[in-house]
Amino acid sequence: MLLALEGIAGAGKSTLRDRLLAAAHAEGIPLSHIGQFSWLSHPATRTLTRLRAGHGGDEQEAIEAAARDLALHSRFNIAVALTEGPVLADRLTLSTACLLALLHRQHVDTYVERLAEQTEARPQLTVLLTTEPDICHDRITRRATERRFTEQPEAAARLADLYNEAADAWAKATGLPVLKHPCTTHADLEALVNACMKDLRSAGSPTATNKGASR
């Protein structure tokens, strides 16, 4: 099983990720963790690095770089990790589609549909953390790290809308579930952990994971 956590910065992805990794390991579920990109193609990496810094550049080049990186990620990282058990992605396809839509000021649906063509990289469950942007901003201001352009209030608010649109487009394009839920309170976090663990328990063995990945 591939599980993706999506949402704007400060939404609670890292907190949920760490809780899920700890809970899974405590139950003997071999859950592993990957990031958003593969970084295996030098040309794609250069383009993705520019995108992450807020420089859109040529739209078609950006789309192709994202698709190329996702294909490599699927083949050399995700597929390999899935042979050992379920995999947790801290950001994946929806985050990339939303970044492209933000920078190029286009509808997110097109980017979602293009990236969804990488069928082996499709998460069986996507969790979109819908924590309010103001709460996310308050959390971010407590961090010691330098602010990225996507963490500025205006960009974050726009991204929050894009994530909701992308989630709907993803469900329509793939037929796969998206769980939308805030991660604001302890009760929210517990509800999210319980929901994800229910699926992870049924996909905890390598055999079950391989079957799920091949559907």
**Least-confidence region, from 47-51, 154-158, 201-205:** 201-205
Spatial distance between the Cα atoms of 68 and 10, rounded to a whole number of angstroms: 28
Q: What percent of the chain has pLDDT over 70?
A: 94
The residue type at 156:
A
Of 104, 105, 90, 95, nearest in space to 166 by CA: 95
| pLDDT (tens digit per residue) in 14-73 | 999 999 999 999 999 999 999 999 999 999 999 999 999 999 999 999 999 999 999 999
Of 204, 194, 197, 189, nearest in space to 13 by CA: 189
SS3 87: strand
Domain count of the fold of the chain: 1
Spatial distance between the Cα atoms of 58 and 86, rounded to a whole number of angstroms: 36
What is the pTM (predicted TM-score) of this model?
0.92
Spatial distance between the Cα atoms of 194 and 182, rounded to a whole number of angstroms: 14
Residues 103-141, buried b or exposed e (16+ Cβ, 10 A)? bbeeebbbbbebbbebeebbbbbbbbbbbebeebbeebe
* Number of other residues whose CB lies within 10 A of the CB of residue 98: 28
- What domain range is 38 assigned to? 2-214
CATH number of the domain enclosing 25: 3.40.50.300
Spatial distance between the Cα atoms of 69 and 28, rounded to a whole number of angstroms: 31
Confidence at residue 145, expressed as pLDDT on a 0 to 100 scale: 82
